[in-house]
Structure 1
Amino acid sequence: MANTNNQLTIYNSYAFGTLTQEDVQTVHQTIAKDCNESQFRLFMGVAKAADANPLIGEIYPTVYQGKLTWQFGIDYHIRKAKEMDGYMGYDVQVIHENDEFEYSMERAEDGRYYLSIEKYKGGFPLGKPIGGYAMAYKEGFMPFSVLMDIEEVEHYKRSAIGMQKTMWTNNFKDMFKKHMVKRALKAAFGLRFDDGDGEQGEGPAPYNPYERKDITPEADAVAVAEKEKPPLQGNGEEPAVNLLDQARSDMKRKFSQLGITDPADMQSYILKHANPKGSKPTLPELKGLLKIMDMHIAEKAAQEQANDELPV
């Protein structure tokens, strides 16, 4: 009994929201039973900073090979999206090999492209899952879409983390839907919280919705700066570098980092994010595009590093 009282004293500073000291102890004895004391205190600190309730599956820990990781559940993503202005729900669908499915890229009035489902017709037998899509709806915007091939998530079935492998194997379609919805909601509402691990040290700062940086004024500033200096720069000894060629080279390199290699996919990406006024992006448009690509590369790297979309 004395040991229990000591634990409750330690846990007391981590009680938050509607969680009582007993609730926090329950978390430690159930979903966080594999955590040692320091790992548990860190996990509860992360949950508190993110305003995520572990009792209802909004965040959960796992310890693999002595290393703590934490993951945010689908309910947390949905709640945070609902707290943002303009939330109008989402749709998600798994596509099977016997379905009739067609999609296209449509251009909105603002010049940006969005995914349009042209035809979806299913029946029994369904056949094997081959892909899927999720759409998040935000007032005043075209749908934010995620379209995925099944091969993009097959690696979860081979995960070294037992729970992850089990859930993705036994509940594959449910897990696949949640995975797509998370990505769509993040894209639509700029949700900037990520799964993580205890090696991050002090844990995350208190949660704040991501505010996307407006790149337009910066792009305009670049355009003015370029007009004030020669288009070619060099030191007289080394070959001069054309700024537009350099930007195009950077764009190709970043496409490779994003895993976008098909020319048609590249063109769609450019049209969507650079919104060029002409047939080819100008230098200011490319500068803005490169910054957006950096954002997407960072998001892709975080997802690959985590690689731990555990059950929710």
Structure 2
Amino acid sequence: MGNSNTQLQAVSDELVIGNFTQKHLDIIKSTIAKGTSNEQLQLFIQTCVRTGLDPFLNQIYCIVYNTRDHGPTMSIQIAVEGIVALAKKHPQYKGFIASEVKQEDEFEIDMVTGEPKHRITSMNRGQTVGAYCVAYREGAPNIAVIITRDQVEHLLKGRNSQMWKDYFDDMIVKHAIKRAFKRQYGIEVSEDEFGAAAPSSEERSYERRDITEEVDKATVNQTTVPADESQDEASRLKALKDQVKRNYVKLGLTDPEAMGAHMQQFCKVKGEKPTAAELTAYLKIMEMQIQEKQAAESADDELPI
């Protein structure tokens, strides 16, 4: 029995493709790439291996959604962490600077030299009006990118609308970084990130595990948010969103884009914003994924008999 378990452990730890073992592939299939077909999973893994990007570090991820003409479709996207990781491999990599700019800031930039002057003169900085990134490269001109608020307003209504509303400063800065690195190093990024038109209501019907109808709309599971009949809808929604954020941490999702991708894949939203029932269903899925993740981590910690 002991030899059998040891053999199984050895097979599980054996590299299957790149640096991925079968155990890694199983975890990716059930979490990061949930909903992919075997062929789509293979394409995603091959892309990870070819680019050297690590899905466990939120550098690369995929979204599966339904399209009217082609059925379930997978979109592979590179997060900012992945963009920076790829650029750092370049022998002429020299770093970058990036920041949001607010109404009360003093800001100017020479687009020819790519040298910004950004002064924060007050802690009461006002609303964010834009962001910038300057990507440096040894032996090449600096590349400066400016993103103004009006250029990304349409993204507040797109696929990642909730993430843009909740983490606007982070998202607009990441947007500037992606543009700058794409121009400086020729790193290609999914065009979904650069203002693609919002999908139709039919295309927004993502391949998610739909358990909304299984949840009593008047009740919130006690393992997530305590039910309280006296709560108004706004307070209830806030409590649900707070729990979603805590669950992101438990799932190891710290990047707003990765959070947005996860919500798109597993939260069935029929309207423009998620309802309490939809968030409750989403929390149910997250709880199951957290349990799977904890079980996988426990398995990794177990010593072979």
Alignment-derived partner of residue 91 in structure 2? 85
Q: Give the letter aligned to residue 72 of structure 1.
A: I
Q: Give the letter aligned to residue 45 of structure 2.
A: M
| Candidates 51, 69, 73, aligned match of 1:67 | 73
What SS does the corresponding residue of 1:38 show, helix, strand or coil? Answer: helix
1:76 and 2:82 correspond = yes
1:64–1:14 Cα change, 3 Å: farther
Shift of 1:96: 0.5
- The whole-number CA distance in structure 2 between the counterparts of 1:17 and 1:306 is 35
| Candidates 94, 100, 107, aligned match of 1:101 | 107
The TM-score normalised by the length of structure 1 is: 0.53
1:129–1:185 Cα change, 3 Å: same
What SS does the corresponding residue of 2:113 show, helix, strand or coil? Answer: strand
Q: Deviations along 1:197-251, whole A, 9 cap, x unmatched?
A: 9xxxxxxxxxxxxxxxxxxxxxxxxxxxxxxxxxxxxxxxxxxxxxxxxxxxxxx
- The whole-number CA distance in structure 2 between the counterparts of 1:72 and 1:307 is 19
Shift of 1:140: 2.7
Q: Give the letter aligned to residue 194 of structure 1.
A: V
Shift of 1:114: 2.7
Alignment-derived partner of residue 257 in structure 2? 311
What SS does the corresponding residue of 1:184 show, helix, strand or coil? Answer: helix
Q: Give the letter aligned to residue 131 of structure 2.
A: G
Q: Deviations along 1:247-278, whole A, 9 cap, x unmatched?
A: xxxxxxxxxxxxxxxxxxxxxxxxxxxxxxxx
Residues 154 and 195, structure 2, Cα contact 8 Å, conserved in 1: no
- The whole-number CA distance in structure 2 between the counterparts of 1:119 and 1:40 is 44
- Taking the TM superposition and a 5 Å limit, the aligned residue runs for 1:275-290 are none
Alignment-derived partner of residue 21 in structure 2? 20
Shift of 1:87: 1.2
Shift of 1:42: 2.7
- The whole-number CA distance in structure 2 between the counterparts of 1:305 and 1:14 is 37
Shift of 1:143: 2.1
Alignment-derived partner of residue 190 in structure 2? 195
The TM-score normalised by the length of structure 2 is: 0.54
- The whole-number CA distance in structure 1 between the counterparts of 2:106 and 2:139 is 30
Alignment-derived partner of residue 291 in structure 2? none
Residues 157 and 198, structure 2, Cα contact 8 Å, conserved in 1: no
1:179–1:12 Cα change, 3 Å: farther
- The whole-number CA distance in structure 2 between the counterparts of 1:122 and 1:139 is 32
- The whole-number CA distance in structure 2 between the counterparts of 1:136 and 1:118 is 15
Percent of aligned positions with the same letter in both sequences?
27
- Taking the TM superposition and a 5 Å limit, the aligned residue runs for 1:243-282 are none
**Structure 2: gaps of 5 or more residues:** 1-11, 67-71, 200-255, 259-305
Alignment-derived partner of residue 180 in structure 2? 184
> Whose radius of gyration is greater, 1 or 2?
1
Alignment-derived partner of residue 170 in structure 2? 174
Alignment-derived partner of residue 137 in structure 2? 138
Residues 104 and 120, structure 2, Cα contact 8 Å, conserved in 1: no
Let me know the Cα RMSD of the aligned residues: 3.1
Q: Give the letter aligned to residue 42 of structure 2.
A: R
Q: Deviations along 1:96-130, whole A, 9 cap, x unmatched?
A: 0111222334xxxxxxx333324533422121110
What SS does the corresponding residue of 1:79 show, helix, strand or coil? Answer: helix
Q: How many residues align?
A: 187
